Amino acid sequence: MRVVLWHAQPKSDMRGIDPGSTTSAEFKAMLELAEADALIVGHTHVPFVRQLGMRRLVANPGALLRDPADGMDLPTPGTFGVLTIEHERARFEVRRARDGSLATTR
């Protein structure tokens, strides 16, 4: 499996991914552009996981630390991600920093 980390979208450090308006075809195109099976992104600080089959996914772990005064209205502040690869199967979980429990994602 090939895992690629990118700040925002592949080939762009400034174009974030809105999980609510990005289609499966667009997620698959991002995987192709990144030449990845698992693409882990950031930039927006919005945690999400899009599983695209057993081997392929696009995910954002959210933001581990952030200043509440920064003006961002995030659904689950203080999150991190855990990528598990077993027998060529990829799984990504977003967890709360305060206690390690599973966080709600978009």
pLDDT digits (tens, 9 = 90+) for 23-61: 999 999 999 999 999 999 999 888 999 999 999 999 999
- 57 assigned to some structural domain: yes
User: Is residue 64 one of the residues assigned to a domain?
Assistant: yes
| Residue 17 one-letter amino acid | I
Q: Does any domain span residue 15?
A: yes
Instruction: Give the pLDDT confidence score for residue 97 in this predicted structure.
Output: 86
Assigned domain for 61 exists: yes
Domain limits at 42?
Answer: 3-96
E-assigned strand segments in 7-104: 38-40, 48-51, 57-60, 79-86, 89-96
Residue 103 resides in a domain: no
79 close to 92: Cβ distance less than 8 angstroms: no
Percent of the chain with pLDDT over 70: 89
What is the total count of domains within the chain? 1
Q: What is the mean pLDDT of the chain?
A: 88
The CB density around residue 12, as the number of other CB atoms within 10 Å, is: 12
| CATH assignment at residue 22 | 3.60.21.10
**What's the predicted TM-score (pTM) here?**
0.86
